[in-house]
């Protein structure tokens, strides 16, 4: 069978936590790619390797506890396994050797499908360490297929698996009640048909109980473990601390604090390097390529766009590094365990805590990190509310506007008043995050029945290779999927702010560089450059747009100049400050822009930036989904434009109404 050259489709089937990914990584290394299952939010992880004359295409199916799907992930796994179009040639069932009894349920189901199967006893070293003695030959006999024991951490045994794949056989044994004379594969398939589901469920219950009895028999014959009904001592000891009513929360907060430090402060350094590198690259291209529209497009539009995408990589790397460490070590299940009751009140999940807190740095990596929330409804709610948590990009906007409202330092005792206002904005964002989650929990109906049962895996030392490959896959997904949208929007924004209708731009260039302005340019060249930049922005398409939306934003106290900044800050919120500086000809100087804005008069000669206007603006920024990257990443994570659209509309309306109320109350 293995002599002829063949392409084999092989799938990895197994319970969550059975170490499927570790085995997948050990078999394929870097030869893997993340794709999509159509229509669902589940990633399809594929890899390949060559063995003898066979080239094997390996698919890491989402973890599943049984062939009767109870969640989207499980449905995807089962459908792929049973696929008629591309039927897998070989099924590898991955079992956790330390947890065979429950894992064998899925194994026996898979064997009953009548496909060529290999059973892998993963983490055999761990079982040996725990004094669990497995008689592999007897297990082979009872299961009727080849059983390979491996320690996927040390890669020991991976060659044996490759050999077993090409020689895989169909089991002769049956594990369902054969007196009922049914076709098992047919029964499994019928869960996706419009057959009598209640009858099927009854049958499924009886089948599982029957299987469990079978498994008890197999288990009793093949496994000798020293003590039944006992948890691993090390796990119990660690849990005594991490699930302790006081210490547990302290440990959790300490870990959150470390993550926070990394994504908030440490990530700033590599982000700065990326920014600097792209600025140099841009100017290199600008000076070395022939001038013209193509040069501008590449050096200003495309490069700035790519830089904007790559800027997120440090934060994504750090956040996923920590999440992978916490998840692989087994701690995440404990964090979820102690936080679940609090978060559930708001329709969130114990696993929503880390996304919500990391969203104070940036919503983009935190939305990506909701992947670990297995309940779809709770995951969706978490994604939906995350943009209301004030992120670090809002800080420059808040700082500028708060300084304008309260120019002098007011101190209340030991508290700085500006600090209190800033804190209030964060609280406002958090409050609406929870309120919205609470309301959504009541409104949102999902087809999927919700189960919250989860395994509490024993603690393990995370495997560096797994963590690294996981982070690399996340970065790839972000850069190539969400990155496309971000790059496209940033090029559009670049075009709109650098080009105008007709030859408006050229006219400005000519008007302000002719003879009568020469003395201005000579007297203060910086002022002159800033002045032309300001006039050009006004004449650009974005300027036209800003003026067009003025009637809409006037009730909030804004004019077309703010309108322009609202549009450009769609690239990233902090761009608001830069755009305002350009409009007011005070480039890149925050103090300068603050003074200019505070001196600005409206048509009646009164000060334009009153407390009412500034407050209305900060409130707008607390809620508005002014961030194309967030939209791109929500689209990527929910796999459709539906949710980002609903979210954008909701947040824009919320921002508008709140800003309107704020303006009218304070005016």
Partner 1 sequence: MAIFVEYIMHTLLSELKPGEHAIIKSIADNAMKTKLIEMGCFPGEELYITKIAPLGCPFAIYVSGYELSLRQNEAMNIVVERLN
C-alpha triplet 431, 437, 443: angle, nearest 5°? 140
In the complex, what is the shortest distance from the CB of residue 449 to partner 1, in angstroms, rounded to a whole number?
5
In the complex, what is the shortest distance from the CB of residue 551 to partner 1, in angstroms, rounded to a whole number?
51
Residues 249-278 within binding reach of partner 1 (CB under 8 A): 249
125 vs 340 by CB, closer to partner 1: 340
- Among residues 657, 660, 650, which one has the least CA distance to residue 625? 650
HSE-CB at 77 with a 13 A cutoff on CA atoms is 26
The answer to whether 387 and 627 have CB atoms below 8 angstroms apart is: yes
User: According to CB under 8 A, which one of 5, 85, 172, 341 is a site residue for partner 1?
Assistant: 341
HSE-CB at 618 with a 13 A cutoff on CA atoms is 26
Verify binding: residue 559, partner 1, rule CB under 8 A: no
d(CA 512, CA 520): 9
In the complex, what is the shortest distance from the CB of residue 217 to partner 1, in angstroms, rounded to a whole number?
13
Structure tokens at 73: 């992930």
β-strands 90-96, 6-14 pairing: parallel
- Among residues 27, 284, 33, 274, which one has the least CA distance to residue 162? 27
Stretch that binds partner 1, among 55-63, 121-129, 228-236, 462-470 (CB under 8 A): 228-236
Q: Could you list the beta-strand ranges (E) of 206-323.
A: 223-224
**Contacts of residue 552, Cβ cutoff 8 Å, sequence gap at least 6:** none
Stretch that binds partner 1, among 60-68, 137-145, 179-187, 271-279 (CB under 8 A): 60-68
Stretch that binds partner 1, among 140-148, 332-340, 355-363, 582-590 (CB under 8 A): 332-340
223 vs 359 by CB, closer to partner 1: 223
In the complex, what is the shortest distance from the CB of residue 230 to partner 1, in angstroms, rounded to a whole number?
8
Task: List, as one string, the DSSP characters of 587-656.
Answer: TT-HHHHHHHHHH-B-TTSSBSS-HHHHHHHHHHHHH----HHHHHHHHHHHTSSHHHHHHHHHHHHHHH
In the complex, what is the shortest distance from the CB of residue 500 to partner 1, in angstroms, rounded to a whole number?
59
User: According to CB under 8 A, which one of 43, 89, 126, 239 is a site residue for partner 1?
Assistant: 239
Stretch that binds partner 1, among 35-43, 80-88, 333-341, 419-427 (CB under 8 A): 333-341
Verify binding: residue 333, partner 1, rule CB under 8 A: yes
Q: Which helix (DSSP H) or strand (DSSP E) does residue 235 occupy? A: helix 233-242
In the complex, what is the shortest distance from the CB of residue 59 to partner 1, in angstroms, rounded to a whole number?
23
In the complex, what is the shortest distance from the CB of residue 238 to partner 1, in angstroms, rounded to a whole number?
12
In the complex, what is the shortest distance from the CB of residue 15 to partner 1, in angstroms, rounded to a whole number?
10
102 vs 140 by CB, closer to partner 1: 102
Stretch that binds partner 1, among 239-247, 565-573, 595-603, 645-653 (CB under 8 A): 239-247
How does DSSP classify residue 131? T
User: According to CB under 8 A, which one of 129, 131, 135, 209 is a site residue for partner 1?
Assistant: 209
In the complex, what is the shortest distance from the CB of residue 446 to partner 1, in angstroms, rounded to a whole number?
13
Stretch that binds partner 1, among 21-29, 260-268, 340-348, 358-366 (CB under 8 A): 340-348
User: According to CB under 8 A, which one of 24, 37, 49, 65 is a site residue for partner 1?
Assistant: 65
In the complex, what is the shortest distance from the CB of residue 450 to partner 1, in angstroms, rounded to a whole number?
10
In the complex, what is the shortest distance from the CB of residue 101 to partner 1, in angstroms, rounded to a whole number?
4
The answer to whether 227 and 197 have CB atoms below 8 angstroms apart is: no
Using alpha carbons, list the distances in angstroms from residue 590 to 247, 408, 557, 596, 629.
44, 16, 22, 10, 25
User: According to CB under 8 A, which one of 248, 483, 546, 644 is a site residue for partner 1?
Assistant: 248
54 vs 98 by CB, closer to partner 1: 98
The answer to whether 38 and 80 have CB atoms below 8 angstroms apart is: no
d(CA 442, CA 401): 36
Radius of gyration of the chain (CA): 30
- Among residues 48, 49, 47, 51, which one has the least CA distance to residue 3? 51
Per-residue x/- track, 408-447, partner 1 (CB under 8 A): ----------------------------------------
Q: Which helix (DSSP H) or strand (DSSP E) does residue 303 occupy? A: helix 303-310
Verify binding: residue 234, partner 1, rule CB under 8 A: no
The answer to whether 638 and 646 have CB atoms below 8 angstroms apart is: no
User: According to CB under 8 A, which one of 119, 145, 338, 437 is a site residue for partner 1?
Assistant: 338
User: According to CB under 8 A, which one of 141, 169, 204, 550 is a site residue for partner 1?
Assistant: 204
Residues 440-499 within binding reach of partner 1 (CB under 8 A): 449, 451-456, 458
d(CA 528, CA 647): 42
Stretch that binds partner 1, among 6-14, 49-57, 115-123, 227-235 (CB under 8 A): 227-235
In the complex, what is the shortest distance from the CB of residue 382 to partner 1, in angstroms, rounded to a whole number?
17
Verify binding: residue 222, partner 1, rule CB under 8 A: no
- Among residues 7, 20, 163, which one has the least CA distance to residue 86? 7
Residues 80-109 within binding reach of partner 1 (CB under 8 A): 98-102, 105
d(CA 123, CA 129): 10
**Contacts of residue 548, Cβ cutoff 8 Å, sequence gap at least 6:** none
Q: What count of residues does the chain have? A: 667
User: According to CB under 8 A, which one of 244, 511, 554, 642 is a site residue for partner 1?
Assistant: 244
Q: Which helix (DSSP H) or strand (DSSP E) does residue 617 occupy? A: helix 611-623
338 vs 486 by CB, closer to partner 1: 338
235 vs 610 by CB, closer to partner 1: 235
110 vs 333 by CB, closer to partner 1: 333
Residues that bind partner 1 (CB under 8 A): 65-66, 68, 70, 98-102, 105, 201, 204-205, 208-209, 212, 229-231, 235-236, 239, 243-245, 248-249, 333, 337-338, 340-342, 344, 449, 451-456, 458
């Amino acid at each position: 069978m293995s002599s002829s050259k063949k392409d084999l489709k092989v799938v990895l089937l197994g319970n969550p936590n059975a170490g499927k990914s570790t085995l997948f990584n050990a078999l394929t290394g870097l030869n893997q790619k993340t794709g999509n299952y159509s229509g669902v939010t589940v990633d399809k992880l594929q890899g390949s390797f060559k063995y003898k004359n066979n080239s094997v295409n390996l698919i890491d199916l989402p973890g599943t506890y049984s062939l009767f799907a109870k969640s989207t992930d499980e449905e995807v796994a089962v459908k792929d396994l049973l696929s008629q179009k591309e039927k897998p040639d070989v099924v590898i069932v991955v079992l956790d050797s330390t947890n065979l009894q429950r894992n064998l349920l899925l194994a026996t189901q898979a064997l009953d499908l009548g496909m060529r199967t290999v059973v892998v006893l993963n983490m055999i070293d761990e079982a040996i360490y725990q004094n669990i003695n497995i008689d592999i030959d007897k297990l082979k006999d009872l299961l009727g297929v080849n059983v390979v024991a491996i320690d996927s951490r040390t890669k020991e045994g991976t060659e044996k698996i490759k050999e077993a794949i090409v020689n895989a056989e169909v089991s002769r044994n049956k594990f369902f009640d054969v007196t009922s004379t049914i076709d098992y594969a047919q029964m499994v398939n019928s869960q996706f048909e419009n057959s009598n589901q209640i009858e099927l469920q009854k049958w499924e219950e009886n089948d599982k109980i029957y299987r469990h009895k079978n498994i008890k028999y197999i288990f009793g014959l093949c496994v000798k473990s020293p003590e039944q009904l006992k948890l691993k001592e090390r796990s119990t000891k660690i849990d005594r601390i991490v699930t302790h009513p006081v210490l547990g929360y302290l440990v959790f907060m300490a870990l959150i604090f470390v993550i926070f430090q990394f994504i908030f402060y440490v990530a700033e350094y590599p982000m700065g390097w990326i920014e600097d590198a792209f600025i140099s690259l841009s100017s290199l291209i600008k000076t070395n390529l022939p001038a013209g529209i193509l040069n501008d497009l590449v050096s200003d539009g495309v490069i700035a766009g790519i830089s904007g995408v790559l800027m997120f990589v440090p934060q994504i790397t750090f956040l996923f590094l920590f999440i992978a460490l916490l998840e692989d070590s087994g701690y995440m299940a404990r964090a979820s365990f102690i936080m679940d009751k609090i978060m559930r009140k708001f329709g969130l999940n114990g696993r929503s805590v880390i996304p919500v807190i990391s969203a104070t740095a940036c919503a983009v990596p935190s939305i990506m990190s909701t992947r670990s929330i297995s309940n779809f409804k709770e995951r969706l709610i978490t994604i939906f509310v995350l943009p209301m948590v004030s992120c670090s990009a809002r800080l420059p906007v808040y700082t500028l506007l708060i300084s304008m409202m309260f120019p002098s330092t007011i101190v209340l005792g030991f508290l700085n008043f500006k600090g209190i206002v800033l804190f209030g904005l964060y609280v406002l964002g958090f409050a609406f995050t929870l309120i919205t989650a609470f309301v959504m929990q009541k409104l949102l109906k999902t087809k999927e029945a919700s189960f919250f049962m989860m395994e509490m895996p024993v603690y393990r030392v995370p495997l560096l290779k797994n963590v690294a490959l996981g982070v690399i896959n996340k970065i790839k997904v972000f850069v190539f999927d969400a990155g496309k949208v971000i790059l496209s929007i940033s090029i559009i924004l670049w075009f709109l702010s650098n080009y105008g209708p007709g030859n408006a731009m050229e006219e400005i260039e000519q008007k302000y560089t002719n003879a009568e302005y020469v003395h201005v340019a000579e007297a203060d060249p910086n002022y002159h450059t800033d002045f032309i930049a300001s006039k050009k922005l006004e004449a650009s398409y974005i300027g036209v747009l800003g003026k067009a939306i003025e009637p809409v934003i006037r009730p909030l106290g804004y004019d077309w100049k703010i309108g322009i900044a609202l549009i450009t800050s769609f690239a990233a919120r902090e761009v608001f400050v830069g755009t305002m500086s350009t409009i007011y000809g005070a480039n890149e100087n925050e103090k300068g822009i603050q003074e200019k804005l505070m001196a600005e008069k409206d048509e009646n000669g009164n000060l334009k930036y009153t407390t009412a206007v500034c407050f209305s603006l900060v409130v707008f920024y607390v809620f508005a989904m002014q961030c194309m990257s967030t939209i791109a990443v929500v689209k990527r994570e929910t796999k459709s434009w539906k949710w980002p659209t609903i979210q954008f509309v909701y947040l824009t309306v919320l921002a508008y109404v709140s800003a309107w109320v704020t303006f009218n109350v304070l005016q």
